[in-house]
Structure 1
Amino acid sequence: MDKIKTFSLVFLIIGMLSCSTSKKTTATALFNTTWELEYLSGPKIAFEGLYPDRKPKITFDPTTKRVEGNNSCNGYSAAYTIEGNEISFGEPGPTTMMYCGEGETFFLNTIKKVNTYRIDAEGKLNLMIDDIIMMRFKKIAKE
């Protein structure tokens, strides 16, 4: 009976450690990478029409807890928080004020609503509202 209890305890500890490692790996996969938007849910305008010249990009800084990038036209920076698979973005800081169409506004409005994230089997970053993918990014560079 003691062997069964010991085996069960060891199995439980290994299971808990593997879950903890998985969460850390997912969070750290966000860093040291520039992510480029490749999908955006909701707009009535085609993706290429929203971003004809340059697609939005983001980079997560684990030290400052800020995300930086561009929203296709203007640069931006905002605070972010991550807890498990929950994520939220603060208000973007000062940016340049060029007008480049509706893509910028749609990007900023969508990212403020996001509340969860997932990195899928293909290594793509999905920013979601609950379980609905709103934005999907691909890796374009490692720093």
Structure 2
Amino acid sequence: MKKHTLLLIALISIVLVSCSTLTPGEKGKLANNAWELEYVTGPRITFAGLFPDDKPEIRFNEELKKVSGTTGCNGYSTTYTTNGKMISFAIPGVTTMRYCGDGEAVFLETMKKIDNYRFTTDGKLELLMNDGVMMRFKSSIKR
């Protein structure tokens, strides 16, 4: 009985480890795309209320380890680090100074909390904190 339990635990561990590693091409998928925010967790304001005109975007430059984009109003850029599916962002610097309402602050504060990422089966990018979805992006590149 003990052997069966140990074997079952070993098999579950192997499955979990294999599911949490990057598949070939996932790292390139992150950088070879432009991503538009379609969901952010937390605020009591609707998504359309936070971003009434333009949605935030993010682009990853893997060579320079930088991300840049818009907050839905102002441009921003910062550095990032990855280790497998773990990811973290330095404090984003805003490159323009228009007042945009609450959406920009929510977006930038949420970026600071991100600790890993994954891709959904339909190709969306989810930025996570402790496996909870904090932000979800869809590809904004027209193919």
Please list, as runs of the form range in 1=range in 2, the aligned pairs for 1:18-33 lying within 5 A after superposition: 22-33=22-33
Aligned-pair identity (%): 51
Shift of 1:24: 4.0
Q: Aligned in 2, Cα 1:132/1:23: closer, same or farther, shift over 3 Å? A: same
Alpha-carbon separation, structure 2, partners of 1:43 and 1:24: 35
* Cα displacement string for residues 104-125 of structure 1 (whole angstroms, at most 9, x for unaligned residues): 0000000110001001101000
Residue 91 (structure 1) aligned with residue 91 (structure 2): yes
Aligned to 1:111: 111
Q: Secondary structure at the match of 1:138?
A: strand
Letter in 2 for 1:28: G
Letter in 2 for 1:31: A
Which sections of structure 1, spanning at least 5 residues, go unmatched?
Answer: 1-17
Runs of 4+ residues deviating >2 angstroms: 21-24
Which sections of structure 2, spanning at least 5 residues, go unmatched?
Answer: 1-17
Q: Aligned in 2, Cα 1:22/1:94: closer, same or farther, shift over 3 Å? A: closer
RMSD between superposed Cα atoms in Å: 1.9
Q: Aligned in 2, Cα 1:22/1:111: closer, same or farther, shift over 3 Å? A: closer
Alpha-carbon separation, structure 2, partners of 1:116 and 1:22: 12
Q: Secondary structure at the match of 1:111?
A: helix
Alpha-carbon separation, structure 1, partners of 2:89 and 2:24: 19
Greater C-alpha radius of gyration = 1
Alpha-carbon separation, structure 1, partners of 2:101 and 2:24: 38
Letter in 1 for 2:141: A
Q: Aligned in 2, Cα 1:142/1:30: closer, same or farther, shift over 3 Å? A: farther
Alpha-carbon separation, structure 1, partners of 2:48 and 2:34: 20
Aligned length: 125
TM-score, length-normalised on structure 2? 0.82
